[in-house]
Amino acid sequence: MTVLSDLPHTPGKIIAVHTAFESRAAQRGRRPSQPSYFFKAPSSLSASGATVERPAGTELMAFEGEIALIIGTPAHRVSLEEAWSHVGWVTASNDLGIYDYRPHDKGSNIRSKSRDGYTPLGPALLDARSIDPTSLRIRTWVNGELAQEGGTTESDLIFPLAQFVADLSQHMTLEEGDIILTGTPAGSTVIVPGDVVEVEVDVPSTGESTGKLRTTIVEGPGDFDPALGMLPRTDEKQAEDAWGSREAAGLPSNPTALSEELRAKLEKAPTAGLSAQLRSPGLNNVIIEGVYPQTPGTKMVGVAATLRFVPNREDLFRSHGGGFNAQKKAFDSVREGEVLVIEGRGESGSATLGDVLALRAQQRGAAGVVTDGGVRDYAAVEEIGLPVFCGNPHPAVLGRKHVPWESGVAVACGNATVLPGDVIVGDDDGVIVIPRDLVEEVVDAALAKETQDEWVAAQVAEGHSLDGLFPPTGEWKEKYQRWLDENAQ
């Protein structure tokens, strides 16, 4: 018996929501401002108790327990207030997917989520007319262990369930039997052949329940024909999303982090020496101009994260300046060992951070902040102890000169282009940007030159002329080489 024979109407379409739960958005670090969707084929439906295949040669199959809405009466251009009346039934679903195919689908999820059997549904249908849509609960178990739990209150969901019906009805007629999968809470992760996944939707206040939707994962054929289409593949991004986190996927928490050995070298190398060595590959425009350490003697080493402000425009500040804006998101997501580089356009007439943001960055383990704009709460920021390189103090709040616009993009800070992942080094001479692929070569050369300069300085201190000594040539070069050989033993 298939699930289709148990449904009140044959679904013409299955529409799935990308992200709807606050917990899922927090886990992914991406919170949508509006709902977005993808289609699943009706042939992907399967019943409770079915087996579903994970193709051989794939490794990132993940479950997503979801609440399914089944349309009872057609909905076309309905309001939010009347949308729930068009929902006939509520049941449990499992939005299964193969992340090995997600990069090829570019958001459509055709190959990753529309495979045969990849939308288990059921087992019982709850009458939506008797249900408060804010009173539902979704739970998922894997091999008997609770893996997901979420509710449908205003604090649980980014968008109310009825909004999906109203929104979609603006663009298409939702017909009897159409199914809307309403997103999954945090906890989705990878499953393997032999695993048993169970999903239940219930109303705790009344005891109504769909019962447990049970699906067993089995190994299936994986003889994909490369002549017909793309083959499955994985990368770190897909592994992180499938498992739910980098840690669960066995990946380093910060993929751009510097090794301890490299960081130690950069701590020893002065920016002046690094700048000189970057001239060898022809890089002269790598100095962030006009920024200085709040506290003299500060040494800063880290990997660039970026934030960009655009000039203030009142309508844009109204739409982008308030709430959890790009500035707050950047400080709230900076990772351990990163330097947040801020493009403030060299604008000295406003601040780009203050003490609360600096404290948040410090708590997250940031290596520092560089801004070519101003800093407010200047003394308090300095007292926090986070390395900050800036142009000047300024008391103005954010809306005077800037609109926080975006993060994680190329920025222009102090007339230098900075890309996320570049290596940032700062000291009393200023701040320098080093392309990641050149950093080992550049720092080794800078340290070698530093050693040579220290030897030369010792000779000058003894009264020798600079002629032929700075840099060493001829006889002085031979003496320096002998000194190196002797001290290497």
- Give all domains of the chain, ordered by start, each with its CATH number: 3-243 (3.90.850.10), 260-440 (3.50.30.40)
Does the predicted TM-score (pTM) go above 0.75?
A: no
Instruction: Using alpha carbons, list the distances in angstroms from residue 393 to 310, 346, 375, 389, 466.
Output: 19, 13, 5, 11, 42
Q: Element (H or E) spanning 331, and its range?
A: helix 326-333
**28-37, 203-212, 432-441, 479-488: range with lowest mean pLDDT:** 479-488
As a whole number of Å, the end-to-end CA separation of the chain is 81
Residues 6+ apart with CB under 8 A from 58: 98, 100, 101, 222, 232
Nearest to 49 by CA among 103, 106, 2, 6: 2
- Interval 390-434: pLDDT, tens: 999 999 877 789 999 999 999 999 999 999 999 999 999 999 999
Residue 220 phi/psi, 5-degree rounding, is -120, 170
Residues 225-238 have a mean pLDDT of 83
Phi-psi region of 275 (alpha: psi -120 to 50; beta: other; left: phi over 0): alpha
User: What does the DSSP 8-state code read for residue 18?
Assistant: S
Dist CA 445 CA 442 (whole Å): 5
Residues 6+ apart with CB under 8 A from 279: none
The residue type of 290 is G
Residue 44 or residue 227, greater confidence: 44
Residue 486 or residue 21, greater confidence: 21
**pLDDT bucket at 244, cuts 50 / 70 / 90:** confident
The token duo for 392 is 């000047």
Residue 2 clears pLDDT 60, i.e. is over it: no
Residue 246 or residue 43, greater confidence: 43
Binding-site residues sit at 354-357, 376-377
The residue type of 443 is V
Residues 52-69 have a mean pLDDT of 95
Residues 261-283 have a mean pLDDT of 92
Binding-site residues for substrate sit at 354-357, 376
Residue 432 is predicted with a pLDDT of 96
Residues 65-90 have a mean pLDDT of 97
Which residue do the tokens 């019906």 mark?
A: 165
- Interval 328-379: pLDDT, tens: 999 998 999 999 999 999 998 999 999 999 999 999 999 999 999 999 999 9
**pLDDT bucket at 489, cuts 50 / 70 / 90:** low
Residue 372 is predicted with a pLDDT of 95
User: What does the DSSP 8-state code read for residue 231?
Assistant: P
**pLDDT bucket at 91, cuts 50 / 70 / 90:** very high
**pLDDT bucket at 1, cuts 50 / 70 / 90:** very low
Cβ–Cβ < 8 Å for 375, 353 = yes
Binding-site residues for Mg(2+) sit at 377
Residue 478 is predicted with a pLDDT of 84
Dist CA 459 CA 466 (whole Å): 9
Residue 197 is predicted with a pLDDT of 97
Residue 456 is predicted with a pLDDT of 85
Residue 60 clears pLDDT 90, i.e. is over it: yes
Residue 420 is predicted with a pLDDT of 93
Instruction: Write down the mean pLDDT value for the chain.
Output: 91
Dist CA 34 CA 92 (whole Å): 24
Cα dihedral 405, 411, 416, 417, rounded to 10, equals -160
- Interval 108-118: pLDDT, tens: 889 999 999 99
The residue type of 222 is G
The residue type of 108 is S
| Percentage of the chain modeled with pLDDT above 70 | 98
Cβ–Cβ < 8 Å for 167, 33 = no
Cβ–Cβ < 8 Å for 396, 351 = yes
The residue type of 256 is T
Residue 241 is predicted with a pLDDT of 86
Q: CB neighbours (10 Å) of residue 30? A: 11
Cβ–Cβ < 8 Å for 329, 307 = no
Residues 283-305 have a mean pLDDT of 94
Nearest to 14 by CA among 254, 184, 179: 179
- Interval 130-175: pLDDT, tens: 999 999 999 999 999 999 999 999 999 999 999 999 999 999 999 9
Cβ–Cβ < 8 Å for 56, 222 = yes
